[in-house]
């Protein structure tokens, strides 16, 4: 698989506003393994006051939070979708986010790029961030 260069991205200048307007974050691919990046990011976000909704195919609870099998299964509002899955899965996650109607931002982690999916998100009024880490970006904003 060839890596894509991100050509669709919400400007970094808007990250602070994204975090300020976010209360609930669905983490797609949130691992129960504490050594994995998705678990570390989820833990950090919980510690910083966000409600984290782990989406994972197994487990009932991760970091004390109820686990959902898909974004569509979540019965509360989702402000931001944080993706820790391969680029070819991003399109289906974006489709689910669009279908929900409550997602304000779709964010794919470092190294994860799918320009076509993110362009589709933007066309539906959803901010699209890719190839950035929510933990790193939030930490940098907190230091400002």
Q: What is the pLDDT along the chain (144 residues), one digit of tens a residue?
A: 457 788 888 989 999 999 999 999 999 999 999 999 999 999 999 999 999 999 999 999 999 999 999 999 999 999 999 999 999 999 999 999 999 999 999 999 999 999 999 999 999 999 999 999 999 999 999 877
Q: Cα angle vertex 37, ends 34, 93, to 5°? A: 115
DSSP H or E stretch at residue 138: helix 134-143
Q: Which domains does the chain have, with CATH numbers?
A: 12-143 (3.40.50.720)
CA-CA-CA-CA torsion sign (30, 110, 19, 105): negative
Q: How far apart are alpha carbons 74 and 81 in whole angstroms?
A: 12
Residue 45 token pair: 């976000």
């Amino acid at each position: 698989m060839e890596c894509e260069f991100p050509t669709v991205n919400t400007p970094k200048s808007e990250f602070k506003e994204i975090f300020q307007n976010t209360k609930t974050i669905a983490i797609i691919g949130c691992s129960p393994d504490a050594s994995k990046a998705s678990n570390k990011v989820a833990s950090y976000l919980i510690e910083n006051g966000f409600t984290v909704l782990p989406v994972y195919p197994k487990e009932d609870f991760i970091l004390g939070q109820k686990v959902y099998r898909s974004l569509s299964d979540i019965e509360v509002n989702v402000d931001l979708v944080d993706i820790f899955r391969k680029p070819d899965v991003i399109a289906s996650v974006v489709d689910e986010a669009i279908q929900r109607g409550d997602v304000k931002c779709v964010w794919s982690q470092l190294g994860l790029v799918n320009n076509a999916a993110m362009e589709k998100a933007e066309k539906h009024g959803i901010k699209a961030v890719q190839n950035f880490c929510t933990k790193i970006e939030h930490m940098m904003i907190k230091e400002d």
